[in-house]
Chain A
Amino acid sequence: MRFSYLLIAVFVFVGSFSSYAQDDLSPERKQAVDSLALEKVRDLSKYISIIGSKETPWSEANRVIDRAEELFMPESEIGVSSLNNPNNINYYAVRTYFERLMRLNYKKVEIEWYNIEYMSDLQRQPDGTYVGVITIFQKFKGYDAEGRLVYQDTTKKDITVFVKRKETQIGGRLIGFWDVLLGDMRVKETSK
């Protein structure tokens, strides 16, 4: 009986080790996955500037909202802060955030993201998902009809990133891919 338990324990140990070894990424592959996650955040940066821009046609902005929404995990939230009310940070569902961004009451809006980098590297979780946090700085500028800068702020935001390996069938081939999804985007600091 004792021997059977020992045998089972050995199998479990060997099984878990081989599963760990399979999922263990080489530095080159890990680097590629890191870059992919950063690229998704850069994509979001581009989408936000397109959605926010008053020059973007309505149909284009809506198409881009769809693409931007696809970057996020369901039920993720995005924080919004204002220098006019620094102690109050409002969190909105992703779609709501983009629709509000599109309707901002300025004649012209400029949004620029910079210093996009990892605050904490992607770490493998027990379920095989890699989780990390990417920090960005967002410079927002709002102009009135006369072209005057009426509001500007700089916000530091943290975005949680989830990366999971998935498989799909394409043209009879099994394709293994890295699915990068963004989680909540939290406001850390707001300054002029």
Chain B
Amino acid sequence: MIKSFRQYQTIFSIVLHSYNNDKITSMKLSQVNYTKLLAILISVILITGGATSCKSKKKLAREKAAAEYATKVEQSKKDLTAIINGTSPWTFEQQSDKVNQIKSYNLDDPEVIEMIKKAEEKIAMGIAESERLKEEERLKLLEEQKRKKDASKYTEIDKQLKSISASSTIDAANKKIMLSMDQFASPDVPVLIIISQSGGFNDYDRPTTISKFLHYLKDKQQYKYQVESLKKDTLGKITELELIKK
């Protein structure tokens, strides 16, 4: 404002000076001269006024741009913090888009630049972890499919074993045991019972024989196992039975 006022003063003094000079040199001023003076004054006011207004607009624009920049920095920090802390509701793809958007602002705030780096690392780690989990899930599914397929292979023998445990009398169970024994190479065929599986490693119960196991099913009156694998000899008789506890 002060600067603009000074400009008015300067211009006005020039105009007055010119007018005084006219007054001194000729002292014969006419009505036309006053009109001329007024026109000059109006022109000066319009020109200087316009120039000042232009200067204000630029300043306003600068202030507006600064405010916008500050808002962008603040919002970017907020978004990046959410990504780094893993509290954002966005998917990894959305997080990546967000970081790219922030990068496109070309903010020269050192904190934002550092945060972008951290956010990118965090997203990369998240994507890698997500892919690992997906792969794990896929392998688990394959394993489950394989288990189901294998299980269906042994459905018949599972049914027989369950039927022994569900017998209503000791005699009925003994008859079923005798019939089942025909499929085995001997009453001493080993029966292995898996009690837990972890990391490709099996934990077993104390091994028993098929004879003892079939009678055990009769005594316990429950079959909570599933045939996991079996081995047969050249005659097609079972020589080893592996069960898993359900």
Contact = CB atoms under 8 A, between A and B. Distances in A.
Interface of A: 26, 28-29, 31-33, 35-36, 43, 46-47, 50, 56-57, 60, 63-64, 67, 166, 168, 170-171, 175-180
B77 interface: no
Nearest to A32: B196
30 contacts: A26-B198, A28-B196, A29-B203, A31-B196, A32-B196, A32-B203, A33-B195, A33-B203, A35-B195, A43-B216, A43-B220, A47-B219, A63-B215, A64-B219, A166-B206, A170-B190, A170-B192, A170-B207, A171-B190, A171-B231, A171-B239, A171-B240, A175-B192, A175-B204, A175-B207, A176-B203, A176-B204, A177-B205, A177-B207, A180-B205
Contacts of B142: none
A11 to B, nearest CB: 27
Contacts of B139: none
A168 B216 CA distance: 22
A60 B198 contact: no
Nearest to B218: A60
Contacts of A179: 206
B239 A36 contact: no
Contacts of A60: 170
Interface string B173-212: 0000000000000000010100110100011111100001
A5 B240 CA distance: 51
Contacts of B231: 171
A177 B203 contact: yes
Given A29-B198, A171-B190, A171-B231, A46 B207 contact: no
A31 to B, nearest CB: 8
A168 B220 contact: no
A26 B206 CA distance: 20
Given A28-B198, A33-B195, A35-B195, A178 B205 contact: yes
A178 B215 contact: no
A178 B219 contact: no
Across the A-B interface, give the 10 residue pairs with the lowest CB-CB distance, nearest first. Answer: A32-B196, A177-B204, A32-B195, A170-B190, A179-B206, A36-B195, A171-B240, A28-B198, A29-B196, A177-B206
Nearest to A175: B204
